[in-house]
Amino acid sequence: MNHFELVFTVIDNKGFYQDLLINDLAQIGFDTFEETDLGFNAYIITDKFNQKTLDNSLLVYEGECAFTYEINLIPAKNWNQVWESNFEPIAIKDKIYVRATFHPSKSNYAYEIVIDPKMAFGTGHHQTTAMMMEYMLETDFKGKNVLDMGCGTGILAILASKMGALKVVAIDNDIVCYDSVLENCALNDIKNVSTLCGSKEIIPLQKYDIILANINRNILLDQIPNYAQVLKQNGTIILSGFHLTPDLKILTQAGNVVNLKYLHNKKLNEWVAAVFTL
């Protein structure tokens, strides 16, 4: 498939707007990103590109972040080579080791996760995924039923299973992510993760002890009532994909409406992860 390459030059004095740009571009169909010395490159299948949608997404940054971009047409290429050239193993709190299939295994970590991300989001490199995994290390998953919304590569669902979860339901609205979860579960010999393609409307109506959702503020706001509906009393919700000000306040207020209680948060480079309970 042919792609458009958008070459962004970014002047980010606050140090987090580039991450915001990448996150918003991912929401409108851009599926691969490469950081550069001057900013980043973003790639999208030509059939998915819409200039008006792009303009609307970038409009919110006027006056906040200085950037320019140019568009290049890129003929079909080996996208696996693109991410392989940029994918490095990572460790979380000396307990989780995330690697690709072409990296050597390490036995000195409690949890080793093998990820073949291709174009799906979730390798542990982004601050939000890292914070989600940090919170998971502080949570008891043994024998628990877990829901992972916006599961991407399935990295959080796989970690939940490795930490002793009884059953995990992993949901994403992108068929690429659906296929990626199936592949990554097989790579990690995970058999108790059920993968579904869709959104809040396909959440199985059962009760979950723990809900994981690393998406973005707008989707979280839309789905919080659904989370509250299927969360067990005294259950745990771990959210990320948003920012400290004013997103956390807005999400906390939305949670209060459906009796979700905010407990605490983690912050990393203006990204936030937070824990709620019912």
> Could you tell me the CATH number of the domain that includes residue 247?
3.40.50.150
Answer yes or no: do 223 and 146 share one domain.
yes
Answer yes or no: do 164 and 264 share one domain.
yes
Q: Report which listed range, 62-66, 115-119, 243-247, is most confident.
A: 62-66
Answer yes or no: do 27 and 158 share one domain.
no
Residue 252 exposed, middle or buried by CB count within 10 Å (0-12, 13-18, 19+) = middle
Answer yes or no: do 73 and 133 share one domain.
no
Torsion of CA 185, 193, 122, 261, to 10 degrees: -160
Q: What is the pLDDT of residues 17-58, one digit of tens each?
A: 887 888 789 889 887 777 788 888 888 889 999 999 999 999
Parent domain of 251: 125-277
Q: Strand, coil or helix: what is 6? A: strand
Question: Per the domain annotation, does 118 fall within a domain?
Answer: no
Question: Per the domain annotation, does 87 fall within a domain?
Answer: no
Q: Supply the pLDDT for residue 80.
A: 55
Question: Per the domain annotation, does 101 fall within a domain?
Answer: no
Answer yes or no: do 142 and 207 share one domain.
yes
For the record, the structure tokens of 60 come out as 């919110």
Answer yes or no: do 151 and 233 share one domain.
yes
Answer yes or no: do 133 and 52 share one domain.
no
Q: What is the pLDDT of residues 77-136, one digit of tens each?
A: 555 565 555 678 889 999 999 998 888 999 999 999 998 766 545 666 778 899 999 999
What are residue 175's phi and psi, to 5 degrees?
-65, -30
Residue 171 exposed, middle or buried by CB count within 10 Å (0-12, 13-18, 19+) = buried
Sign of CA dihedral 197, 198, 203, 204: negative
**Structural domain total, the chain:** 2
Which of 13, 46, 77 terminates a domain? The answer is 77
Question: Per the domain annotation, does 84 fall within a domain?
Answer: no
C-alpha distances in angstroms, 105 versus 163, 188, 226? 19, 12, 39
Answer yes or no: do 172 and 242 share one domain.
yes
Answer yes or no: do 70 and 131 share one domain.
no
Residue type, 222: D
Whether 208 contacts 146, CB under 8 Å: yes
253 CB-near residues (< 8 Å, 6+ apart): none
Q: Supply the pLDDT for residue 86.
A: 62
Band of pLDDT at residue 210, cut at 50, 70 and 90: very high
Answer yes or no: do 129 and 63 share one domain.
no
Q: Supply the pLDDT for residue 126.
A: 79
Question: Per the domain annotation, does 37 fall within a domain?
Answer: yes
Question: Per the domain annotation, does 270 fall within a domain?
Answer: yes
Reported pTM: 0.75
Question: Per the domain annotation, does 56 fall within a domain?
Answer: yes
Helices (H), the chain: 17-27, 51-59, 79-84, 127-137, 155-162, 175-187, 217-230, 249-257
Question: Per the domain annotation, does 188 fall within a domain?
Answer: yes
Question: What CATH number does the domain containing 72 carry?
Answer: 3.30.70.120
What are residue 154's phi and psi, to 5 degrees?
90, 10
Q: Supply the pLDDT for residue 16.
A: 74
Which of 61, 77, 93 terminates a domain? The answer is 77
**What does the alpha-carbon distance between residue 132 and residue 136 come to, in Å, rounded to a whole number?**
6
Q: What is the pLDDT of residues 126-162, one digit of tens each?
A: 788 999 999 999 999 999 999 999 998 899 999 999 9
Describe the chain by its helix, strand, coil percentages, rounded to 5.
Answer: 35, 35, 35
C-alpha distances in angstroms, 144 versus 170, 192, 194, 224, 273? 14, 12, 14, 20, 21
Answer yes or no: do 48 and 173 share one domain.
no
What are residue 43's phi and psi, to 5 degrees?
-125, 140
**What does the alpha-carbon distance between residue 238 and residue 247 come to, in Å, rounded to a whole number?**
15
Q: What whole-number percentage of the chain has pLDDT above 90?
A: 62
Answer yes or no: do 45 and 178 share one domain.
no
Band of pLDDT at residue 277, cut at 50, 70 and 90: very high
